[in-house]
Amino acid sequence: MKRRYMTLAIVLAGAGVALCIGVVATQRLGDDEVTVSIDQVPAPVKTALLAQGGTINEIEMETENGQTVYEAEVVVNGKVVDVAVSPDGTVLGAESDDEDEANDADDEEDQDDEVQVSLAEVPEAVKATILNEAAGAEIKEIEKETENGQVLYSAELVGDGQEVGIEVAPDGKLLGKEVEDEDDDK
């Protein structure tokens, strides 16, 4: 009889330990990943996420290796894009579901994403830089690109017999400018 109680006590003790481990693990997971609203994120994160354009479906605040990262699921032009942003507003990466599939097929190949956008769809700082650089020239095309995990905007401007290509960071900084005479294309 004592043996039966002893076995029962050991089994119950083991179950209790397993239950405690499960509770601690679940609590730790809850601490590492929390769903938040756009109003709960720091202002720089909010600005960076809204600059992506589209609709924000979900934002998760995660702690990875002691670093906080905000990951958002954004729908842009019908594509789901996962965007990672640091608390200071730096976009750490943006990856569309199409890229996930391409990366699964070939992890070695870098995927760059380009989407044509209107002037009204770009952040105000980018809009100001494009308009300043255009200085009355026609804005033929604007593209939002993800290059090596970094978002940038490129614009093609035409005026005074020249075609000008510019690249602009989301904060409005002019990253590059290339001037080509239209006669060179012929």
Contact predicate 110/53, CB 8 Å: no
Contact predicate 153/122, CB 8 Å: yes
Instruction: Check residue 93 and give its pLDDT.
Output: 79
Instruction: Check residue 12 and give its pLDDT.
Output: 60
Instruction: Check residue 127 and give its pLDDT.
Output: 94
Instruction: Check residue 149 and give its pLDDT.
Output: 79
Instruction: Check residue 60 and give its pLDDT.
Output: 92
- Domain residues of the chain, as ranges? 32-111, 112-186
Instruction: Check residue 22 and give its pLDDT.
Output: 56
| 32-111 is classed CATH 3.50.50.60 | no
112-186 shares the fold of 32-111:
yes
Instruction: Check residue 3 and give its pLDDT.
Output: 67
Contact predicate 130/153, CB 8 Å: yes
The fold adopted by the segment(s) 112-186 is: Nuclear Transport Factor 2; Chain: A, (3.10.450)
**What single-letter DSSP state applies at residue 118?**
-
Instruction: Check residue 107 and give its pLDDT.
Output: 43
User: In the sheet where 91-96 sits, what is the strand order?
Assistant: 33-36, 55-64, 67-76, 79-85, 91-96
**Full pLDDT tens readout for the chain, 186 residues:** 666 666 665 756 655 555 555 555 544 444 578 999 989 999 998 888 888 888 888 999 988 677 888 998 988 888 888 888 889 988 877 887 765 454 444 443 444 578 889 988 999 999 999 999 988 889 999 999 987 778 999 999 998 888 999 999 999 999 888 888 765 554
